Each structure stands twice: as C-alpha cells, then as structure tokens.
Structure 1
C-alpha cells in the first residue's frame, strides 16, 4: 500500500467561482449606484446623491465580506477566514474534518470540544472540488494533527 505524497504547504482553499461572481457584482454595484447618483433628477439634493453613491459602496462592502472565506494550511497549522472572523489553529487543535452530504461547508471538530465552520471549503464552487479539498484537509489533519500526537504517546 503506497502512502500518499505529502501536500506541498502552504495550501489555500477558497470558493474561487463565488469570489469571481461577488467581485464582479461589487464592481457593478459601485458603478451603478455612482451613475444613478449623477443622473438623478435635479430635484434630488447633493446629500441625496452622496448617500446614493455611499449605498453602492455599502452593498459592495457586504459583497466583499461574503467573498472573504478561505482556509489556509501551512506548516504550523490552519488559518480559517470566515465572513467576519478569522481564527488561527495549530494542527494539534484540529481533531477531525467533517463534510457530510448536504453540509453547506466543512466543519472542523476541535480539541476543546467545539466545532468551527470552515466556509472556505464549500460545494458552491463544485461538489467534487469541495470533496477533494475536504479530503486533502483531512489527510493533512491526520498527518500533522492531534491523531499524530496520540500515536506518538
């Protein structure tokens, strides 16, 4: 039985298709609301126009926030970037990688008994791609994580 080759680190998983769509949508929103602010009827005041442009920027900011998720694996551990928060984990903190049928994204079981969503690995960019990414992450966790520490003891 051959052992799979170790992954070349660092590795980044992110829903690239979602990001591309969201970045394009954000650009369209900023342009659209800016154009609307300029072509509004003259009955609209200057502050109304500014608020229209600011609304486009606000909507784009929300879109950029939705495009943030990613999971980065390096030699020291994982960095999980979700919509609002980021969390740095050592390999020993991650006990298991879960990605069941119907799950919206990977869930990491942690050594402290909690779970952490890893939104950067999700089927939105393709179910098979997400399964491959979850398996690669699982293999890294098994190779470097808490299970390895238990085997040494």
Structure 2
C-alpha cells in the first residue's frame, strides 16, 4: 500500500468504533439503572428508608462508572496533512510527520506502536487488535503508508515491520 494512489484521504481518524459504542452504551445503561434505583428507593423516616445522600450516592456511582467507560472509549489516532495526533486514555500527543520513524503492529501486540525520531516508542491505542484484528491490520498499513510517503520513515534504513 505504498503507492500514493492507495493512500487514504486526509484527514482521517482511526478508532475502535465497536468498542466505543459498546462502552458508551453500557455506561449509559448503567447510569440510567443507578438513577432509576435512586428514584425508586423507599423514602420517609425510620428503618429501611433512604435519604437524599443515599440516593445521590447511587447517582454518583453511576456517574463514576460512566466516566471510567468514557475514558476507556477515548483512544483514537487522527491523521492530517501536518501530522498525527495520538489520543490514548489520558494523554494526547501531537506528532509532526518528521517525528514518526516507523509504524509497528506485530503479532501479539494489543495496539500499534510508533517509533519516534527521539528514540522513544508511543502506543497508539486507537488502532487495536482487540476491536478486530483484520481492521487493525488495515488501519496500521494505511498509517504506515502515510508515514512512508509523508515522514522520515522513507529515509529510515531499518525499514518497517
């Protein structure tokens, strides 16, 4: 896929869509369930009654679970003319094409790893095998082809894996 004609149109975003849909759907459903439970708890005074703080604790727990699932659904890799933006769980990093040396997705890797010009490696969790191995391979090849054409990967004597 190294021919320029085979390159995807930019801008493009790679993200595990099914995983995102499942996580956000489960999070929404759990939030609704916790809110409904909070509303349906018996009120009043005496033994077995639930006060406002108890109800808010249920809603807060639902919000906490929803928040965690939103963070887990965050990873993506955004590619444009100027470079690549990698959004992982809590970190977002912008890379210029010249910083990207190689795109790796080896057998057994959970997601793509990017070898950078400063000698470090950056996980790109937006392209992950858990969401579909064939799709991850296609996305990794597309990103690799873009890196070869636009970045310093074409000048790297080690090549790509």
Query: Does the alignment pair 1:47 with 2:53?
Result: yes
Q: Distance in 1 between matches of 2:8 and 2:154?
A: 16
Corresponding position of 1:108 = 114
Give the secondary-structure state (helix, strand or coil) at the position aligned to 1:89: strand
Of residues 139-148 and 104-113 in structure 1, the stretch that sits farther from structure 2 once superposed is: 139-148
Pairwise CA distance, 1:51: 1.3
Deviation sequence 1:97-133 (CA, Å, 0-9, x none) = 1101111000001110111000000012210010000
1:23 corresponds in structure 2 to 24
Contact 1:92 1:149 in 2 (8 A): no
Paired residues of 2:101 and 2:156 also in contact (CA < 8 A): no
Detail structure 1 runs of 4+ shifted over 6 Å in the superposition: none
Equivalent runs, 1:109-148 vs 2, <5 Å: 109-148=115-154
The 8 Å contact of residues 101 and 151 in structure 2, kept in 1 or not, is answered as yes
Match of 1:3 in 2: 3
Could you tell me the TM-score, scaled by structure 2's length?
0.88
Determine the structure 1 residue equivalent to 2:78: 72
Q: 1: CA distance between counterparts of 2:141 and 2:85?
A: 17
Q: Which runs of 5+ in 1 are unaligned?
A: none
> 1:83 is matched with which residue: 80, 89, 108?
89
Number of aligned positions between the proteins: 150
Q: Quick check: 104-113 or 140-149, which moved more?
A: 140-149
Q: TM-score if structure 1 supplies the norm length? A: 0.92
